[in-house]
Amino acid sequence: MIIWSDFPGAPPPGAKLLDSADLAEGGVRQISLGEKPQRFAAVLARVDGDVRAYVNLCPHFRIPLAVEGRELTVSPGIIWCAFHSAQFRARDGHCIDGPAKGADLTPIPIIEKDGGVFISS
């Protein structure tokens, strides 16, 4: 099983991903940390007040859910893969439709505190 810390450029526990205020209820953001070629990309979503984080990589073809610098395609509670239209629930990263149906996004453990979202241990 692949875990988030197995990905190139994975930041250490305690790394700040974004300010809490930058992610509204129902919102989804993609972020990148570090420099190419070891840049680590993540997708964060706020669902029912809680933040969820996933590695920005579709399990279908192991490509990003969206091209860096472009907006993610989302609908209420759903994150879409821009390339093949796989649909993932924001609350748990499970694919409910499309070519990756039944697969899951790789979760990143996080904690929200002191006005920020951080990787937890």
How would you write the pLDDT of the chain (121 residues) with one tens digit per residue?
789 999 989 999 999 999 999 999 999 999 999 887 788 999 999 999 999 999 999 998 888 898 766 777 788 899 999 888 899 999 999 999 999 999 999 999 999 999 999 999 7
The reply to whether the predicted model has a pTM over 0.85 is yes
For the chain, give the secondary structure using H, E and C: CCCHHHCCCCCCCCCEEEEHHHCCCCCEEEEEECCCCCCEEEEEEEECCEEEEEECCECCCCECCCCCCCCCEEECCEEECCCCCCEEECCCCEEEECCCCCCECCECCEEEECCEEEECC
16-39: per-residue pLDDT in tens?
999 999 999 999 999 999 887 788
CATH number for the domain whose boundaries are 4-119: 2.102.10.10
